C-alpha cells in the first residue's frame, strides 16, 4: 500500500491545545517536518519565548529552551555560539518580536548570527487576550484599540521582513502565508531554505509566516484564513526580500 501521509516524528503525538483554526500548529509542523526530513531532529535546539507558543517545547520533538519575552534571539545567539555545530532556531510571535523584542532581532541580524528566525505574525497579542500589536492593521479592532487601530495614534503597522531585509547581516529573508494549501507548500520551501542557509553557515535567515488568531479576531477558522488573504497579504506582500548568494 502506498503511504500518502505520515505524522512527522518531529511532532510529539499529543492533542493540540491551540484554539481551533489557529495556524501555530501548521507552523510547528512545517518546521519539524523539515528537520525530520533533513535528519536533524537530534541536532536541533529551538528557542520559544512567551506567547501562545510558549508551550512549543511540549510539541516539538527537539531540544528546546524558553526565553524571556522578546529575548529569543539573544538566547539563540548564545546557544549557537556555544554549539556552532547545532541547528538553532527561534520561534516568535509579533507581540514578542515586533514590540518588546525589536532590538534583539535587529541586532541578531546585524551581527549576522547564524541561526534561523521564524516569525509568526498574527497581527495581535494572542496569549494575553487580543491586545494591539505593532503589526495590527489600520482599523483592526483589538482589546486596546476598540474603535480600530488609528494611524494618528499608533502609526502604520510594522513590516518586519522588509525591516530585517535592510540589515546587512541578514542573508535570507522571506514572507510566506499559512492561509491555503498552496501557500503552506511555499512556506515549507522557505523553511527548507532557511535551514539550508544555516547549514552552509552563510548567515542569518528569517521567515515571516502570516498566521491566524481566530479567537482574538472574533472569526471562525475558515473566515480567519480569508482575513489573511483579504486584509493581511495586501499590506504584507509575500515573497523573498533578501537573498545574498
Ligand atoms: C516582560 C513581559 N511583558 C509582558 C508579558 C506578557 N505577555 C505574554 S505573551 C505576550 C504577547 C504575545 O503575543 P505574540 O508574541 O504576538 O504571540 P501570540 O500569543 O499571538 O502567538 C505578552 C505581552 C510577559 N510575559 N513578559
Decide if 177 is inside a domain.
Answer: yes
Is any atom of ligand 1 closer than 6 Å to the C-beta of 95?
yes
Determine what percent of the chain is predicted with pLDDT higher than 70.
Answer: 100
**Residue 215: what pLDDT?**
98
**Residue 245: what pLDDT?**
81
pLDDT exceeds cutoff 90 at 195: yes
**Residue 102: what pLDDT?**
98
**Residue 5: what pLDDT?**
84
Decide if 19 is inside a domain.
Answer: no
Decide if 163 is inside a domain.
Answer: yes
Ligand 1 centre to CA of 69 (Å) is: 6
Is any atom of ligand 1 closer than 6 Å to the C-beta of 48?
no
Determine what percent of the chain is predicted with pLDDT higher than 90.
Answer: 98
Q: What is the CATH number of the domain that holds 175?
A: 3.40.50.970
Decide if 165 is inside a domain.
Answer: yes
Decide if 183 is inside a domain.
Answer: yes
Decide if 125 is inside a domain.
Answer: yes
Decide if 41 is inside a domain.
Answer: yes
- SS3 string, the chain, reads CCCCCCCCCCECCCCCCCCCCCCHHHHHHHHHHHHHHCCCHHHEEEEECCCHHHHHHHHECCEEEECCCCCHHHHHHHHHHHCCCCEEEEEEEHHHHHHHCHHHHHHHHHHCCCCEEEEEECCCECCCCCECCCCCCECCCECCECCCECHHHHCCCCCHHHHHHCCCCEEEEEEEECCCHHHHHHHHHHHHHHHHHHHCCCCEEEEEEECCCHHHHCCCHHHHHHHHHHHHHHHCCCEEEEECC
C-alpha cell belonging to residue 200: 552552509
Ligand 1 centre to CA of 3 (Å) is: 40
Domain ranges, residue 173: 24-243
Is any atom of ligand 1 closer than 6 Å to the C-beta of 134?
no
Closest approach atom of ligand 1 to CA 96: 15
Is any atom of ligand 1 closer than 6 Å to the C-beta of 23?
no
Decide if 18 is inside a domain.
Answer: no
pLDDT 10s digits, 123-133: 999 999 999 99
Number of compact structural domains in the chain: 1
pLDDT exceeds cutoff 90 at 1: no
Indicate whether this model's pTM tops 0.75. yes
Amino acid at each position: 500500500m502506498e503511504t500518502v501521509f505520515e505524522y512527522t516524528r518531529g511532532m510529539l503525538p499529543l492533542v493540540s491545545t491551540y484554539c481551533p483554526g489557529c495556524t501555530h500548529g501548521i507552523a510547528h509542523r512545517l518546521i519539524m517536518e523539515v528537520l525530520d526530513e533533513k535528519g536533524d531532529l537530534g541536532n536541533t535546539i529551538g528557542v520559544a519565548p512567551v506567547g501562545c507558543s510558549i508551550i512549543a517545547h511540549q510539541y516539538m520533538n527537539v531540544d528546546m529552551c524558553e526565553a524571556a519575552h522578546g529575548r529569543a534571539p539573544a538566547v539563540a545567539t548564545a546557544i549557537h555560539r556555544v554549539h556552532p555545530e547545532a541547528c538553532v532556531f527561534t520561534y516568535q510571535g509579533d507581540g514578542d518580536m515586533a514590540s518588546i523584542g525589536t532590538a534583539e532581532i535587529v541586532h541578531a541580524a546585524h551581527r549576522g548570527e547564524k541561526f534561523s528566525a521564524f516569525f509568526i505574525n498574527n497581527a495581535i497579542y494572542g496569549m494575553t487576550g487580543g491586545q494591539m500589536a505593532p503589526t495590527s492593521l489600520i482599523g483592526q479592532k483589538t482589546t486596546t484599540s476598540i474603535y480600530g487601530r488609528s494611524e494618528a495614534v499608533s502609526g502604520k503597522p510594522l513590516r518586519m521582513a522588509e525591516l530585517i531585509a535592510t540589515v546587512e547581516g541578514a542573508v535570507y529573508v522571506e514572507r510566506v502565508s499559512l492561509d491555503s494549501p498552496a501557500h503552506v507548500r511555499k512556506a515549507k520551501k522557505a523553511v527548507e531554505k532557511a535551514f539550508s542557509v544555516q547549514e552552509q553557515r552563510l548567515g542569518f535567515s528569517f521567515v515571516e509566516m502570516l498566521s491566524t488568531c481566530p479567537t482574538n479576531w472574533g472569526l471562525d477558522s475558515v473566515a480567519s484564513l480569508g482575513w489573511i488573504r483579504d486584509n493581511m497579504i495586501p499590506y504584507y506582500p509575500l515573497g523573498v526580500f533578501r537573498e545574498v548568494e
